[in-house]
Structure 1
């Protein structure tokens, strides 16, 4: 199982434990507007998102063909993935613990009928007995108190023939040097304090949680950044950022 890296916050009325960290939510509340600015201080995040989006599109084609599918983006942020996927014709729901993120994403996605945003957690979606062809969980696991709980909830939201795509950071010495020292302190591509290295998740930990649930991890794909060209690309190395598709 994965490490529990933060204290969870009890849900109201004795409901399931709300798997959120108030400090993390507040942090992303403050950054919600910045992620969308192509000329802003975090423009490299938009370049990162384009590579990530390309991977997701290819996985959809490989698994579902060219048909329109239902997608749930857990921790959708400002809608960097949800909106382009909806514009491709998929039926997309984005959920996030930050009400500011949801407001920003909703504003930018105005007028797209097949796109919906909700201020809620994955556990609340489970209570509605909803299932999706594809569940996205990208750059969220390292920000919640109990990543195993989040993985288990996401797994239950996937249709029997569906797929889950995960993206996170590996817990290696390279990820500490590149993902934190390099990205936050040297390049300032992310705000200082965005990540806690102890919360990063290894591919083996993902498999340890998901295999007992009947899921199989595909081959993980890494992502790397060239500070000279300011471009991201996929790579065979999963030592820092990586993506992986998961099926039953």
Structure 2
């Protein structure tokens, strides 16, 4: 079995140089990043009962799966976490390594997918952010990700709901009308309903602790946490 979808990897490899350009092809992710960072940080602190400090995640071993150019790995490292970032695209990892080195950040980047990662440790936290809609087999991907998580560790999964609204917003709107994303970035068939994701997770020793929607405000160009899960949503799962 394999979780890697070669077409998806080729698609992102072609635009790998754009990762750190806030006005480039990953502009939507740059806009999205502050809300993701805040959400992850707050939930890790709450879950592990961490005392406030400038580097609250300093005892946390964190794995960022599908790390791309390091848009989440770097802030997690700055918060003190011991970060391993993996991506199936060698070009993405090359960009991530170069950027981390330039910013004097110690992040262990590897070209790998969950089933191919050789590691002696299990992780306290795993990030699967905006990745499950790009993998070959979501059941296998979550199963292999879960194996890398410690007992009582937490996993965050952010993705797109499979609704008509998500098709209208994330594909027609974002790709064709507003041109926020390259055409073909998303395949609606790969989107997953929260209930389906929760069932897959439960089959793999992960129980749901939190489900939140992420909503975009077009007027002030910002994201917020919401009860509306009809387009973007994020789940926090705990390893049993």
TM-score by length of 1: 0.88
- What's the secondary structure of 1:112's corresponding residue? coil
Which of 54, 79, 88 does residue 38 from structure 2 map onto? 54
Which of 15, 29, 36 does residue 20 from structure 2 map onto? 36
Structure 1 residue runs without a partner (length 5+): 1-16
Which of 100, 103, 121 does residue 130 from structure 1 map onto? 121
Distance 1:24 1:41 in 2: 15
Alignment pair present for 1:112 and 2:105: yes
Structure 2 residue runs without a partner (length 5+): 51-55
How much does 1:174 deviate? 0.8
How much does 1:221 deviate? 1.1
Do the aligned residues in 2 keep the contact of 1:35 with 1:46 (CA within 8 Å)?
no
Alignment pair present for 1:171 and 2:167: no
Do the aligned residues in 1 keep the contact of 2:162 with 2:191 (CA within 8 Å)?
yes
- What's the secondary structure of 1:193's corresponding residue? coil
- For each residue in 1:57-106, what CA deviation from the matched residue of structure 2 results, as whole angstroms up to 9, or x when unmatched? 11111112245200001110110000110011110000000001000011
Give the alignment's Cα RMSD to 1 decimal: 1.4
Change (3 A) 1:75 1:219: same
Do the aligned residues in 1 keep the contact of 2:2 with 2:137 (CA within 8 Å)?
no
| 30-39 or 18-27: bigger deviation | 30-39
Residue 235 of structure 1 is matched in structure 2 by 226
TM-score by length of 2: 0.91
Matched length:
230
Residue 11 of structure 1 is matched in structure 2 by none
- For each residue in 1:150-169, what CA deviation from the matched residue of structure 2 results, as whole angstroms up to 9, or x when unmatched? 10111111111211111110
